[in-house]
Amino acid sequence: MAAAAAALPSQFKSLQHHLRTAQEHDKRDPVVAYYCRLYAVQTGMKIDSKTPECRKFLLKLMDQLETLKKQLGDCESITQEIVGSAHVENYALKMFLYADNEDRSGRFHKNMIKSFYTASLLIDTLSVFGELSEENVQHRKYARWKATYIHNCLKNGETPQAGPIGLEGDDYDNESEEAGLFSLPSKGSPPSSSAYNPSNMPTTNYTGIQIPPGAHAPANTPAEVPHSTGVSSNPIIQPSPQNIPAVDPSLYSAKPHGDLLLTPEDFTRAQKYCKYAGSALQYEDVGTAVQNLQKALKLLTTGRE
C-alpha cells in the first residue's frame, strides 16, 4: 500500500485518510482494511475514472482488494454484506464511545482525537452497504467536528470544553484534515492508559445525537495508531468483565402466535438485532450478544420489541 499511497493522484486527495486507515488495519483487522479500500475504489470511480493516472491507481487498488479477498477466504464479513456492515459499524462505534468517554472525562490526548476522527472515516466506509442512517450521519458529523475542535484547542494551548457542546452549524475545519490533524506536540499530552468503564458510557445527549441501543460496542482497544502519526500505539483500554443479562424465561418456549403477521420492517429489525449479536460475539461480548438475540426472538414471536 505504501507504493500506491505515494502515487495518490491529486484528484483523490480526499481519500488519503481512508487509505491510510486501511493500511493501519491490514494486520489488526483485515475486514476493516478491506472495506476502507472498497470505499476508496467506489468513491474514486465517481470522482475520476478516465484520467490515466486515476485509472491506473484504481486498478492497482482493485488488485489489492482481490488479493485481500482471497486471503480472507470464506470470511462471512466479506461474503455477507449484512455481517460486514455490522462488523464495520460496531468497530466504528466502539472507537466513538472510547473517544467520547475520554472527552467527557476531560482526558484530551492524541489517541482520543485519533479515535474520534477514525470513527468518522469508518462511518464514511459504511456507505458501501447503502445509504447511511440518520444516526450514523450525526455520529460522523459530531466525531469529525470534535476531533478538529480538540486538535485546534490543544494546538493553540487552550483547554477544550469537555463533553457535548453545541455544534456551530457545520463550522468544523475540514482543512485541518490536510494540515496534520494528528501532529500535535507531545509535550503536556496526558497519558492514554486510562481504563474503560462501560457503566460510564453515555447513550444519548450528543446535542441531539442518539446511539442506537442495539449497537452497543464492546470494550476493546481502538484502532492501532501507526508510529508515523507520532501517536503512541500502547494499549489504552482494558477489557471489562462480562455483564450478561438474565434471559427472559418466557423465551425458552417461545413460538410464533398463530395469527402473527410480521411486516418487512419487522424482518429487517430482527436481522439487525442478529447481526449486532454476531458482531458482538466476534469481540467476545456475550452480554450484548444475548441482549440482541432476545430482542430478535421477542420480535419474531410477538411482533413487538
Query: Which carries the bigger pLDDT value, residue 296 or residue 200?
Result: 296
The whole-angstrom separation of Cα 88 and Cα 94 is 10
Q: What is the pLDDT of residue 184?
A: 41
Across the chain, mean pLDDT equals 74
Highest mean pLDDT among 20-34, 224-238, 256-270, 283-297: 20-34
Comparing 39-48, 53-62, 257-266, 288-297, the range with the smallest average pLDDT is 257-266
Q: How far apart are CA 301 and CA 257, in angstroms?
A: 6
Query: What domains lie within the chain, and their CATH numbers?
Result: 249-302 (1.20.5.420)
Is the per-residue pLDDT at 19 higher than 60?
yes
Burial status of residue 143 (CB atoms within 10 A of its CB: 0-12, 13-18, 19 or more): buried
How far apart are alpha carbons 50 and 278 in whole angstroms?
Answer: 40
pTM: 0.61
- Lowest mean pLDDT, pick from 4-18, 112-126, 172-186, 255-269: 172-186
Amino acid at 159: T
Q: Residue 175 is placed in which grid cell? A: 482543512
Query: Has residue 49 got a pLDDT over 50?
Result: yes
CA dist 50 and 45 (Å) reads 9
The string of DSSP letters for the chain reads -HHHHHT--GGGGGGHHHHHHHHHTTTT-HHHHHHHHHHHHHHHHHH-SSSHHHHHHHHHHHHHHHHHHHHHTT-HHHH-HHHHHHHHHHHHHHHHHHHHHHHHTT---HHHHHHHHHHHHHHHHGGGGSSPPHHHHHHHHHHHHHHHHHHHHHHTTPPPPPS-----TT---THHHHS-TT----TTPPPS-PPP-GGG---S-BTTB---GGGPPPS---PPPPGGGT---S---PPPPP-PPPPPGGGTT----TT----HHHHHHHHHHHHHHHHHHHTT-HHHHHHHHHHHHHHHHHS--
Average pLDDT over residues 95-118: 94
For residues 223-236, average pLDDT:
31
In this structure, what are the phi and psi dihedrals at residue 268, rounded to the nearest 5 degrees? Answer: -65, -45
Q: Which CA distances in Å does 222 have to 117, 236, 259?
A: 12, 8, 46
Cell matching residue 51: 484520467
C-alpha cell at 209: 445525537
pLDDT at residue 269 greater than cutoff 90: no
Confidence of residue 277 (pLDDT cuts 50, 70, 90): confident
Q: Give the per-residue pLDDT at 204.
A: 33
Specify the higher pLDDT residue, 66 or 221. 66
Closest C-alpha among 92, 103, 135, 113 to residue 201: 103
Residue among 46, 17, 128, 34 at smallest CA distance from 76 = 34
Q: Is the model more confident about 27 or about 199?
A: 27
Q: Return the residue matching grid coordinates 414471536.
A: 301
